[in-house]
């Protein structure tokens, strides 16, 4: 009896210890497996996010310690910084137009390349090659080709008796010119859509054809549902990339303006007339040229929030791109 | 619930991918000149020159310094921009520069007020250098901020008029204009329209026409930008307003903004062989003294003359002045070798032979009184024009500001809007600009 009681006591006191230890062991093991991700996320996402939020409430010029200023930077950016709202409008314009057109043109080019009976490899290379051109070189080439005074495009348009736009020198045409540049490098999306389109089972097309579906209905009811996840991927990564659109508008604006700032000149931000100014340019200008790091952090957070909103809209279930038919 | 988890994970992945952050570490600016200048040491010197002839010229001066100071070795880094300078001064570290030069005076206010550069006054006192006796007034002005002489002039730039002698003769113009009304008349006379463009333009007044920045043009009107308390005066200063009005009037007289802008897009690179004055696309240009050297070194056949830029008719007595600026040089407060760095800065900025030889080599204006008076300075009459502009007591420059050249950007944007006709009410625009400048300065402090 005594033994039994002692034995049961021993067992009852032993069991919780074992379970707890096992839990701890499991926890340690799981954390060990997760540690690369945890360290990476902590160092490269959570810490910068928290630091950015903190700096946005401080005056910080990189020389002296950050000084708490409350909402001053936020008021400055939203109320007093003259470049913020034009840059915001330009960025949203570019996101909506460039992402939409790149996805549409990417799908169209992939379809065309598939439809080509001979020389498919040649056309794949032809469309993909521009994507490999460094952004600065590609932008310079476009600015020279589209130069209103000496560019070959306007010379040809003039000879054809067509209107000759100001392209990168005209506020009304500068963003469409950037869009053309972005479409020229649509090769990355073409490759992804090509793989996705080739993955659609042929039997589905044959069945739809037997049911009397034409090309448009086959695309609508067979192709589109099948490639929808790829479309979402293309749209979301496109939004992220366009939100960070920096090199092309900066180079195009400075080269077209004729002032490269090499001799200490003041260059016009977003030439012409602020039409190529984007939010990342403001982050760089405020953060790394004027060293108003607090205000730069405000714009970085705005960019972050905008990306989240766009991505959430695209990925929301029920009515977004991920919606089931 | 389970269905929302992947969704959240996707959002988190998106969030991680998009964050763009600038979180540089805070670095102090302790500085302190405690090093022994006679000890064997190596200092790092950053400059922005890139042309082979310029790099050779500065290297010649470095070699001369090392010969005179065998204990100090200078490690030279060329092609440095102001962005890199600003970032390096904040980052500090063993690879940061000890001595820094910058092509623009715009950032002097920022360098001084933030103490990124050390105040050179104690060094000059120690070396027995009287700054006012050594440097011209304008050069001293643009290298200090609120009494903190944190930089010194390393050669100067003076802006004047370049004119094409052949085109002048063809148009029957006998001498360069001295007043702006003469200048406007000459610019119109020298302009030849061709359809909706030009076969020859008298002068490109648009603000994007390279050196036709509002600050350069407005210098002829004696503008003030700030009052003694640091508040912007651009809304009340009559000179600046007159400068905008004069430029706009000339734009309209020469065919209008759109036509001029279209012609401007045919111009080649400002610092290349296709510069519009060197190709004969324009008959007159406002430019710095370096242009003469560039023309002489190029294949351009343009037969040119130089003169001070014309002045407003009511300031005719001040003819001879112009906008001045220049390269500045300072010592980083993060440098642990400030005494050795000073020896180098002193040599580059005050040694007459060093200043003159460097000025002659890169076609810049010498930046000390002794060097300006030296008979070794390039005696080419076209170059001497700029020496006289630099020496003219009415020559002026844009003042330093604690947030660098931000106020000039505000004024430049006003100019773009006004010349294009997007802005028609100049006084309202100047009022708004003054408010913006004050807001930006307050934000920077």
Model confidence over B167-221: pLDDT tens digits? 999 999 999 999 999 999 999 999 999 988 999 999 999 999 989 999 999 999 9
* Alpha carbons within 13 A on the beta-carbon side of A264: 23
Measured distance CA(B210)–CA(B169) in Å, rounded: 25
pLDDT tens digit string along B258-268?
Answer: 999 999 999 98
- Are A148 and A165 spatial neighbours (Cβ–Cβ below 8 Å)? yes
Domain end point (choices B370, B391, B412): B391
Q: Which residues pair with B43 in a beta bridge?
A: B74
- pLDDT averaged over every residue in chain A: 88
CA Rg, chain A, in Å?
Answer: 28
Chain B CB contacts of A44 below 8 Å: 16
Closest C-alpha to B156, from B396, B411, B403: B396
CATH number at residue A203: 1.10.3720.10
pLDDT tens digit string along B277-322?
Answer: 999 999 999 999 989 988 988 888 899 999 999 999 999 999 999 9
- pLDDT averaged over every residue in chain B: 88
What is the reported pTM? 0.82
pLDDT tens digit string along B268-278?
Answer: 888 888 899 99
Residue A265: which domain range?
82-315
Residue B381: which domain range?
41-157+324-391
A–B interface: beta-carbon pairs under 8 A: 162
* Per-residue confidence (pLDDT) for residue A325, from 0 to 100: 46
User: Is A40 found in the same domain as A129?
Assistant: no
User: Is B314 found in the same domain as B172?
Assistant: yes
Measured distance CA(B117)–CA(B24) in Å, rounded: 19
User: Is A147 found in the same domain as A30?
Assistant: no
Q: Least CA distance to A270: which residue of chain B?
A: B413
User: Is A193 found in the same domain as A101?
Assistant: yes
Measured distance CA(B431)–CA(B256) in Å, rounded: 25
Q: Least CA distance to A262: which residue of chain B?
A: B81
* Per-residue confidence (pLDDT) for residue B445, from 0 to 100: 82
How confident is residue B32, by pLDDT bands cut at 50, 70 and 90?
Answer: low
User: Is A110 found in the same domain as A156?
Assistant: yes
User: Is B266 found in the same domain as B235?
Assistant: yes
| Probe site for chain A from B1, B15, B20 (most A CB atoms < 10 A) | B20
pLDDT tens digit string along A172-214?
Answer: 999 999 999 999 999 999 999 999 999 999 999 999 999 998 9
User: Is B304 found in the same domain as B266?
Assistant: yes
What would the DSSP string read from start to end of B126-150? HHT--HHHHS-HHHHHTT-BTTB--
Residue A240 to residue B20, Cβ atoms within 8 A: no
Q: Does A312 touch chain B (CB under 8 A)?
A: yes
- Buried b or exposed e, range B182-198, using 16+ CB within 10 angstroms: bbbebbeebbeeeeeeb
CA Rg, chain B, in Å?
Answer: 24
Residue A169 to residue B21, Cβ atoms within 8 A: no
Largest Cα–Cα distance in chain A?
111
List the 171-190 stretch of A: residues with Cβ below 8 A of B.
none
User: Is B261 found in the same domain as B285?
Assistant: yes
Q: Which residues pair with B194 in a beta bridge?
A: B197
Quickly count: other Cβ atoms within 10 Å of residue A9's Cβ: 10
Token readout for B165 is 């002698």
First to last CA, chain B: 49
Residues in contact with A52: Cβ distance below 8 Å, sequence separation at least 6, in sequence order: A297, A300, A301, B19, B21, B23
Residue A63 to residue B27, Cβ atoms within 8 A: yes
User: Is A113 found in the same domain as A13?
Assistant: no
pLDDT in 10s for each residue of chain A, 325 residues:
444 445 445 555 555 567 888 889 999 999 999 999 999 999 999 999 999 999 999 999 888 889 999 999 999 999 999 999 999 999 999 999 999 999 999 999 999 999 887 888 898 999 999 999 999 999 999 999 999 988 999 999 999 999 999 999 999 999 999 999 999 999 999 999 999 999 999 999 999 999 998 989 999 999 999 899 899 889 999 999 999 999 999 999 989 988 765 555 566 788 898 999 999 999 998 998 888 999 999 999 999 999 888 888 887 764 555 555 4
User: Is B247 found in the same domain as B174?
Assistant: yes
User: Is B315 found in the same domain as B193?
Assistant: yes
* Per-residue confidence (pLDDT) for residue B115, from 0 to 100: 84
User: Is B280 found in the same domain as B422?
Assistant: yes
- Total of domains in chain B: 2
Is the per-residue pLDDT at B29 higher than 50?
no
Percentage with pLDDT > 70 across chain B: 93
Q: What is the DSSP letter of A44?
A: I
**B36 lies in a domain?**
no
Q: Which alpha helices (DSSP H) does chain A contain, by range?
A: 2-41, 47-55, 72-75, 84-115, 120-128, 135-145, 152-159, 171-184, 187-198, 202-210, 215-218, 224-243, 247-257, 279-284, 293-315
Only one residue has tokens 């992804």, namely A192
**B303 lies in a domain?**
yes
């Amino acid at each position: 009896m005594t033994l039994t009681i002692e034995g049961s006591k021993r067992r009852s006191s032993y069991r919780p210890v074992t379970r707890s230890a096992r839990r701890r062991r499991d926890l340690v093991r799981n954390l060990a497996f997760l540690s690369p991700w945890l360290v990476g996320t902590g160092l490269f996402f959570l810490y910068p996010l928290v630091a950015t939020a903190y700096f946005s409430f401080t005056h910080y010029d990189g020389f002296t310690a950050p000084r708490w200023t409350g909402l001053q930077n936020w008021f400055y950016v939203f109320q007093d910084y003259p470049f913020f709202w034009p840059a915001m409008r330009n960025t949203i314009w570019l996101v909506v137009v460039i992402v939409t057109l790149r996805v549409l043109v990417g799908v169209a080019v992939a379809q065309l390349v598939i439809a080509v009976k001979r020389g498919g490899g040649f056309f794949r290379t032809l469309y993909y090659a521009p994507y490999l051109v460094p952004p600065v070189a590609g932008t310079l080439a476009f600015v020279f080709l589209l130069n209103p005074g000496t560019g070959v495009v306007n010379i040809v348009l003039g000879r054809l008796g067509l209107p000759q736009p100001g392209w990168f020198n005209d506020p009304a045409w500068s963003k469409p010119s950037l869009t053309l540049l972005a479409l020229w490098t649509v090769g990355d999306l073409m490759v992804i859509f090509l793989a996705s389109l080739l993955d659609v089972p042929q039997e589905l097309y044959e069945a739809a054809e037997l049911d009397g579906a034409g090309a448009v209905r086959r695309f609508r009811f067979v192709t589109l549902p099948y490639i929808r996840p790829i479309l979402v991927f293309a749209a979301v990564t496109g939004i992220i990339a366009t939100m960070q659109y920096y090199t092309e508008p900066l180079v195009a604006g400075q080269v077209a303006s004729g002032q490269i700032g090499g001799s200490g000149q003041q260059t016009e931000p977003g030439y012409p007339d602020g039409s190529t100014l984007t939010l990342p340019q403001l982050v760089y200008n405020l953060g790394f040229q004027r060293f108003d790091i607090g205000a730069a952090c405000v714009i970085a957070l705005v960019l972050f929030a905008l990306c989240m909103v766009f991505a959430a809209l695209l990925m929301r279930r029920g009515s977004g791109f991920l919606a089931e038919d | 619930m389970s269905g929302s988890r992947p969704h959240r994970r996707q959002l988190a992945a998106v969030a991680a991918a998009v964050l763009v952050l600038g979180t540089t570490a805070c670095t102090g600016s302790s500085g302190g000149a405690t090093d022994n200048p006679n000890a064997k040491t190596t200092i790092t010197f950053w400059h922005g020159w890139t042309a082979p002839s310029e790099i050779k010229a500065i290297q010649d001066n470095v070699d001369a310094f090392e010969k005179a100071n065998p204990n100090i070795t200078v490690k030279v880094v060329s092609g440095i921009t102001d962005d890199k300078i600003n970032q390096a001064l904040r980052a500090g570290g063993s690879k940061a520069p000890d001595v820094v030069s910058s092509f623009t005076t715009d950032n002097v206010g920022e360098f001084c007020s933030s103490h990124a550069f050390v105040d050179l006054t104690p060094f000059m006192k120690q070396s027995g250098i009287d700054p006012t006796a050594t440097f011209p007034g304008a050069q001293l002005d643009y290298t200090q901020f609120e009494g903190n002489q944190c930089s010194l002039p390393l050669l100067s730039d003076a802006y004047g008029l370049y004119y094409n002698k052949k085109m002048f003769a063809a148009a029957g113009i006998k001498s360069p204009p001295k007043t702006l009304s003469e200048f406007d008349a000459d610019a119109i006379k020298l302009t030849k329209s061709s359809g909706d463009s030009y076969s020859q333009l008298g002068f490109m007044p648009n603000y994007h026409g390279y050196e036709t920045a509002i600050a350069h043009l407005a210098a002829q009107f004696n503008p003030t930008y700030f009052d003694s308390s640091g508040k912007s005066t651009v809304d009340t200063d009559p000179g600046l307003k007159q400068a905008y009005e004069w430029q706009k009037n000339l734009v309209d007289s020469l065919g209008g903004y759109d036509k001029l802008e279209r012609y401007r897009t045919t111009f080649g690179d400002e610092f290349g062989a296709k510069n519009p004055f060197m190709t004969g696309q324009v008959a007159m240009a406002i430019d710095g003294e370096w242009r003469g050297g560039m023309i002489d070194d190029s294949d351009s056949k343009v037969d040119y003359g130089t003169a001070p830029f014309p002045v407003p008719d009511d300031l005719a007595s001040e003819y001879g002045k112009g906008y001045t600026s220049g390269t500045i040089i300072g010592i980083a407060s993060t440098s642990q070798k400030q005494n050795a760095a000073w020896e180098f800065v002193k040599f580059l900025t005050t040694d007459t032979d060093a200043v003159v030889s460097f000025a002659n080599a890169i076609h810049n204006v010498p930046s000390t009184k002794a060097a300006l008076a030296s008979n070794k300075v390039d005696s080419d009459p076209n170059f001497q024009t700029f020496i006289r502009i630099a020496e003219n007591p009415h020559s002026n420059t844009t003042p330093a500001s604690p947030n660098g050249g931000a106020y000039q950007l505000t004024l430049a944007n006003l100019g773009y809007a006004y010349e294009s006709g997007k802005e028609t009410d100049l006084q309202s625009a100047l009022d708004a600009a003054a408010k913006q400048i004050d807001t930006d300065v307050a934000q920077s402090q």
